[in-house]
Structure 1
Amino acid sequence: LHVWVINNKDKIPPKSKLGEALTYWLNQEHKLVTYLEDGRINIDNNRAERAVKPFVIGRKNWLFSNTAKGANASAMLYSIVETAKANNLLVDSYLNTCLDELAKKPESIEHLLPWNIKLG
């Protein structure tokens, strides 16, 4: 296909849809070759997009963090949630357990850290 693109790029009007596609091909061809040669590379960035989606959705909610304390509280909550996810915990179960444990022993939190907690 690459040989055909090289041989025909000057025969196709560059402003046509096919001409634009050929220009795109020529500009991006090195990325396709890299992807084909290295099987570890993902074809898309969907995983990264999904990871930042909660922050994009939350952007409107952050408008209500109109004080430094409110913004700090939001940042702490997002940190706790994302750390729980990173440790393969079910977030709602983790938060419920933390709140229950804090009601019993608010002075002790080390055992509630996402990498220490035992959910049962």
Structure 2
Amino acid sequence: AQCWVHARRYFIDAQKDHPEQVTEALQQIANLYRNEDNIRAQNLSGEKKRQYRLAHSKPVVSDFFQWCRDHLEQGGLVPSDPLTKALNYVLSREASLTVFLEDPEVQPDTNHLERALRPIPMGKKNWMFCWTELGAEHLGIIQSLISTCKLHNLNPYTYLVDVLQRISQHPASEAANLTPRLWKTRFAENPLRALIDPRHPDRQNTPLEATVHAH
């Protein structure tokens, strides 16, 4: 994953050899997380969250990238130097590290995702004897979808029931709309239901339902 917490780790690795430069870098990264703390304290979301980041975090990010470029251009750092690796990590991932500034749904790091996905490696002993490699791969996909649903406060069962029915009629070019985050904005208010769900529109017309009512 490409995120600010990983950039921070690269600089920490260089702290022994470059204490002053690393301290300055860590202070700039810390400013971003202070801004995120303020966002949570003020309970900002949506456009207000985006505007706060643009006003407070974007200047910090811009100055930090320029700081990294200046230190590389000064020379004197060999490619194997930990500080060189830290600077290159940041500059080579500028696009991904700035996504959170424009999208209020994106976090500056992936800690929340790693926590959500933690049950998967923790439970690996439970599925290490999957019948096939393909089966293990599919299990991993399902686990990831379920964890993503939880991150977006979606009921995984409701999501999967809808998507498994919708996918056969959904344009392949718009497959991204079936990912949990986008599905929530497009289909969550009126999801497709399973036939056994009392809320299914055809439930009252099924032979099973008729039999139940007859008794």
- TM-score band, normalised by shorter chain: 0.3 to 0.5
Higher relative contact order (CA 8 A, sep 6+): 2
TM-score relative to the length of structure 2: 0.28
- So what's the TM-score if we normalise by structure 1? 0.48
